[in-house]
Amino acid sequence: MVQFYFPKRRGLLCLLFFALAFNLSAQINSTPFEQVFVTANLDKESLKKDFPRLYQVVKNKDYKTEDVNSFIKSNGTEWNNFTNLLAVKKLNIAWGTLGLVLPETKKEFPHSLYQWYKASGISDAKRNQLFPHFPLPNLKNDADKELADYEAKIGAWQRLYTEEYEHFLNAPELTSLNPYYTGYFKFPYLPKFIGQEIDLEKPTKPNTGNAIADDYHYQMKLRNWYFVFKPNEFDRLYGKDYKFPDSFNQQEYREHIIKISKEKKTGTYPNMNNPH
């Protein structure tokens, strides 16, 4: 009969090691992913409510790595939520070592206003109702170039559609993510196109080589021109996008701009004896 001899202290440690190894081997099946539940001390039954699809996979005694990979591919959000569980996250697991194939992480477009919009989860229908002209980036473009263009597009949108920007800042889906929101924020000024320099002739689009800036300045002047010289056409084209405070005398503004425009054409503006 074979006998084993251990020094007292070392023998106790070895016995504990073999007992632990035997206990773990009894709990872990051949799929490496199973080790996550053992190491994190995570009860699979607790997955039923928040991770029902993952539970359907791992509740089976003989599930395989390919079953987990199939789940990950079809349920990205549930998988991300699972990996962000504190008990799992603190393990700092390199998932590839368990044979898992993770989807490529999409790089977030780094514009703060767009990230806020995306994080809010606001529906397309609500966006079209509150701020339909809010620009969306072309994520297929080079990120750095698109970011510069998008900054210009956002700036133009904020000035061309001030009321939409106001709706954006006050939409419940977005304000719920704003810890500094204290109540409805209202812009106290007129639409930005009011006061843009115009002439009697309809504006034409400049061509400076900066297409976004050229279009912005053109649209600002075009709106002011329609507002002054073709108010009915302005209402048809843009009326739904703008509101004016009661203190703003629209007719008086139109008459003033028309007078100046005519004097410019005749060369009598400015009249230093009758300053405007």
Residues 142 and 242 in one domain: yes
Looking at the domain assignment, is residue 10 inside a domain? no
- Please say whether the beta carbons of 154 and 113 come within 8 A: yes
Residues 168 and 202 in one domain: yes
Question: Per-residue pLDDT tens for 23-60?
Answer: 444 445 579 999 999 999 999 999 999 999 999 999 99
**Nearest-angstrom CA–CA distance, 29 and 207:** 69
Looking at the domain assignment, is residue 19 inside a domain? no
- Domain finish residue from 44, 73, 98: 98
Looking at the domain assignment, is residue 103 inside a domain? no
Q: How many CB atoms lie within 10 A of CB 216?
A: 18
Neighbouring C-alpha atoms within 13 Å toward the C-beta of 12:
2
Q: Give pLDDT, residue 21.
A: 44
Which residue do the tokens 């799992």 mark? 88
- Domain finish residue from 69, 98, 127: 98
**Nearest-angstrom CA–CA distance, 142 and 241:** 32
Residues 132 and 235 in one domain: yes
Residues 88 and 121 in one domain: no
Looking at the domain assignment, is residue 9 inside a domain? no
Q: Give pLDDT, residue 274.
A: 55
Q: What residues make up the domain containing 164?
A: 112-266
Looking at the domain assignment, is residue 276 inside a domain? no
**Nearest-angstrom CA–CA distance, 252 and 194:** 13
- Please say whether the beta carbons of 232 and 176 come within 8 A: no
Q: How many CB atoms lie within 10 A of CB 174?
A: 20
Q: How many CB atoms lie within 10 A of CB 163?
A: 16
Residues 118 and 176 in one domain: yes
Q: Which of 143, 154, 150, 152 is nearest to 107 (CA)?
A: 143
- Domain finish residue from 98, 120, 148: 98
Looking at the domain assignment, is residue 18 inside a domain? no
Residue ranges for the chain with pLDDT beneath 70? 1-29, 105-106, 269-276
Residues 67 and 118 in one domain: no
Residues 42 and 177 in one domain: no
Q: Give pLDDT, residue 42.
A: 92
Residues 91 and 121 in one domain: no
Looking at the domain assignment, is residue 63 inside a domain? yes
Residues 48 and 178 in one domain: no
Number of domains in the chain: 2
Residues 203 and 90 in one domain: no
The residues near 116 (Cβ < 8 Å, ≥ 6 apart) are 174, 177
- In this prediction the pTM is 0.55
Residues 130 and 243 in one domain: yes
Residues 140 and 256 in one domain: yes
Question: Per-residue pLDDT tens for 254-268?
Answer: 999 999 999 988 887
Q: Which of 235, 217, 230 is nearest to 160 (CA)?
A: 217
Q: Give pLDDT, residue 26.
A: 41
Looking at the domain assignment, is residue 128 inside a domain? yes
